[in-house]
Amino acid sequence: MKRFALSLLMPVLLLVDVGSSLAQDGLEYRLEATEITPGVWVVEGSTESFSRENGGNIVNTAFIETDVGVVVIDSGPSRRYGEAFRALIETTTGKSITHVLITHHHPDHAFGNQAFEPETLYMLPASRELLARDGDAFSDNMYRLVGDWMRGTEIVLPPNTLEPGEWQVGNRRFRLLELTGHTGSDLVVFDETSGVLFTADMLFYDRALTTPQSPGLDVWAAELEALEALPYRWVVPGHGPVVEGDVAFRQMQDYLAWLDRTLSQAATEGLSMMEVMNLPIPERFEGVAERRHELIRTTTHLYPHYEKAALALLPE
């Protein structure tokens, strides 16, 4: 088992500025790409929440070199992030981008689409529908949260769709999976050639999970168990450090189980939302960033379902 801070993993890091026209306002994404195994690069975001200080750069994006071009995983939170990311990819690989796979419709993963050629953009059909439905509302919220970092950002729906299953790009063999635990339509990309598993937001590590569109923690936990059975070596979570081995799965499953038990027991005891939001969080999760913030948000998202289930068990 290995855990790496990506900024320290490799001796050479590549820094790319957005460009002079955007840099004049002082808002620059200084993105760093790290090669975790030959031809597989990750750009790691912070584990914070969206803010004007971080410009929404809280997500892990990635790119994979093949002998026919580059496959990109997610486009980032804004047009200017996407532009910086694309420049970084081209500087690093010297190859053209053939595919940009958008794992789900949340803004930190899909709002950099503008920076890439439309014909390279791909998304699961159901996830694309969610982006069409929620994109404008997400955009309004992102402008409120991160301000001028979003200037010029528009919603771009990928014209191409993906289907789960085996997928070959040049000399790379991938397996595409559609899961539901995080948003209802979540793409997971397994690079079978290198053994790198790109879980997107089906897996958070050292960062509390987010639940605004989750169909339920029980669904999420069951899908994680199936996902862990894949023969991966490296894991790239949607948020948090890249790791080798199963440590990220262990933490996430433990956290999910605790959260599910806590909400269920609280509903059985008739606790109010405010009381649930202030319940103690076990010390073993001390290293999980944004844990209190996300407990508050998850309580608003999911606790009414637990209350309804608890009421259904009461005798008539």
- CB contact at 8 A, 55 and 146: yes
Q: Give residue-wise pLDDT tens across range 128-139.
A: 999 999 999 999
Residues above pLDDT 90, as percent of the chain: 90
**Among residues 9, 30, 46, 7, which one has the least CA distance to residue 206?**
46
What pTM was estimated for this model as a whole? 0.92
Identity at 301, one-letter amino acid code: H
Phi first, then psi, for residue 90 (nearest 5°) are -70, -35
- Can you tell me whether residue 155 is helix, strand or coil? coil
Beta strand pairing call for 160-161 and 186-191: unpaired
Q: Give residue-wise pLDDT tens across range 25-83.
A: 679 999 999 999 999 999 999 999 999 999 999 999 999 999 999 999 999 999 999 99
Q: What is the mean pLDDT of residues 268-280?
A: 97
- Per-domain residue ranges for the chain? 2-257
Class of 2-257 in CATH: alpha beta
Query: What's the Cα-to-Cα distance from 50 to each of 108, 112, 265, 285, rounded to whole Å?
Result: 9, 15, 31, 21
Q: What is the distance between the alpha carbons of residues 126 and 129, in angstroms, rounded to a whole number?
A: 5
- What pLDDT score does 312 carry? 84
Q: What is the distance between the alpha carbons of residues 143 and 139, in angstroms, rounded to a whole number?
A: 6
Phi first, then psi, for residue 84 (nearest 5°) are -65, -40
- What pLDDT score does 36 carry? 97
Evaluate if residue 113 carries a pLDDT over 50.
yes
Instruction: Out of 19-28, 150-159, 196-205, 283-292, pick the least confident.
Output: 19-28
Phi first, then psi, for residue 77 (nearest 5°) are -90, -5
Beta strand pairing call for 61-66 and 160-161: unpaired
**Among residues 312, 85, 58, which one has the least CA distance to residue 206?**
58
Residues above pLDDT 70, as percent of the chain: 91
Identity at 193, one-letter amino acid code: T
DSSP 279-316: S---GGGTTSBTHHHHHHHHHHHHHHHHHHHHHHTS--
Sheet order of strands, 186-191 included:
2-3, 243-244, 234-239, 196-204, 186-191, 172-179, 165-169
Phi first, then psi, for residue 297 (nearest 5°) are -65, -45
- What pLDDT score does 7 carry? 34
